[in-house]
Amino acid sequence: MVDFRLSEEQIRLQNLAKDFAKKEIEPICASYDRKQDPKECFPTHAFAKAIQVGLQSIYIPREYGGMGLGDFEASLVFEEIGAADAGFASALCISASIAQAMIHFGTKEQKERWLPKICKDTDFILGFGVTEYGAGSEAYIASEDPKVGSKTTCKLEGDHYVINGVKHFISNGGCGKLYGVAARNSLEKPMFGTICTFFVDADTPGFRIGKIEDKMGQRLMLNGELIFENVKVPKENLVGQDGGGAAVLLDIGCSTSVTIGAIGIGIARTAYELAASYARKRMSGGKPLIEHEAVSLMLADMKMEIDAARSLLWRNTWLNDRDGRDYPRAAEVKVYCAEVSKRVTNWAMQIYGGLGYMRDSPIEKLVRDSAIMTIYDGTSEVLKQWISGQSHL
């Protein structure tokens, strides 16, 4: 029999995230969202507190100082954080997901060197660079043509690799202390067999942050350019096999797909709650909006879509925790929840009428924040190719 009740421990975790969001994120997110300079939009202080209460180290085993939990529990946390602010939640889930890949693919030395810092150091944030100017979706798709895909290279020279290339749009680019990067050991062979993944300390000579993007939504997360100019990285910083980096990327994708899916549900839930409450108060034709059938049907659709999305999220994360991770199964969550978050926020704006379009209402931020859901971390179109079996390793 399937049982959807949460355990006491899971409820405690959910409440921890809910209380954190209420106390530390909700009071500040609107003002950070409005800052003109994108570099100032990252709430350093609140993020440090999130690390302090253990939200960045949710996946990290207890022996290193983390919570040692799986995708199901992560999805409970990220729905709550996403309900408060999707940008903050995305920045946090990216960092947590990269740490998860270190657990699965890192050497003993890498784990001992970095995992305790990720748990304890309140400014030790992570980012991971895959996307390039010439390779966005291409970086997610297997192709036999060596010309297709990323162009950042790594060359083994003695006891170190030399990395050259530019990544862009990278989450936490600008506030990270440690960056993962995907680079190719050959541009003459198909991309998926040539990818190497490395961790690079932010203060490594030759590495620098370039442009910080000015985004329409999810502004509390920084997105920047990572520039690698003859960056010498010790061989010990290679994560996984030389040429086997695609497996590391898919592992990160397994975590980010479900946590971003959960964030999408959080956004949709907030939009639904605001719209339902507004529809009870706003009068039209002598009765509240909710008593007009067209509006109540819209609210019913919103609620059903959120419930269906959460059911898929819980089922697929439960399966991934029980049977082992499967990227297409995680991608189903990402695609479905992302699309629900966009539909529900647009319905909420419809129910708010003209007010929903104004910066005075909380709805317009939710619409802006949800707009990227079907694009970042693999577009819906590309992820559907994994779900249908067209793309595979």
Ligand X SMILES: Cc1cc2nc3c(=O)[nH]c(=O)nc-3n(C[C@H](O)[C@H](O)[C@H](O)COP(=O)(O)OP(=O)(O)OC[C@H]3O[C@@H](n4cnc5c(N)ncnc54)[C@H](O)[C@@H]3O)c2cc1C
Give the residues lining the site for ligand X (CB under 6 A).
Answer: 94, 127-131, 136-137, 141, 169-171, 218, 223, 372, 375-379, 381-382
Containing 200, the helix (H) or strand (E) segment is: strand 195-201
The residue assigned the tokens 């199964």 is 329
Shorter beta-carbon distance to ligand X: residue 251 or 279: 251
Shorter beta-carbon distance to ligand X: residue 40 or 381: 381
In whole angstroms, how close is the CB of 214 to ligand X at the nearest point?
11
Amino acid at 163: I
Pair 363, 352: CB distance under 8 Å: yes
The SS3 of residue 125 is: coil
Q: Which residues pair with 223 in a beta bridge?
A: 171
In whole angstroms, how close is the CB of 292 to ligand X at the nearest point?
36
In whole angstroms, how close is the CB of 115 to ligand X at the nearest point?
20
d(CA 180, CA 195): 12
Q: Which residues pair with 231 in a beta bridge?
A: 163
In whole angstroms, how close is the CB of 86 to ligand X at the nearest point?
10
In whole angstroms, how close is the CB of 135 to ligand X at the nearest point?
7
In whole angstroms, how close is the CB of 327 to ligand X at the nearest point?
15
- For 289-344, give the DSSP string: GGGSHHHHHHHHHHHHHHHHHHHHHHHHHHHHHHH---HHHHHHHHHHHHHHHHHH
Shorter beta-carbon distance to ligand X: residue 170 or 309: 170
In whole angstroms, how close is the CB of 277 to ligand X at the nearest point?
29
d(CA 68, CA 63): 9
Shorter beta-carbon distance to ligand X: residue 118 or 295: 118
Backbone φ and ψ for 45, nearest 5 degrees, come out as -65, -45
Q: How many CB atoms neighbour CB 373 within 10 A? A: 29
Token pair listed for 15: 């409440």
Shorter beta-carbon distance to ligand X: residue 54 or 136: 136
Backbone φ and ψ for 329, nearest 5 degrees, come out as -65, -40
In whole angstroms, how close is the CB of 351 to ligand X at the nearest point?
27
Distances from the Cα of 25 to the Cαs of 14, 87, 160, 274, in angstroms? 15, 11, 41, 18
- Backbone CA torsion sign across 80, 85, 90, 91: negative
Residue nearest to ligand X (CB): 136
Q: Look at residues 53, 107, 99 and name the one whose alpha carbon lies nearest to residue 80.
A: 53
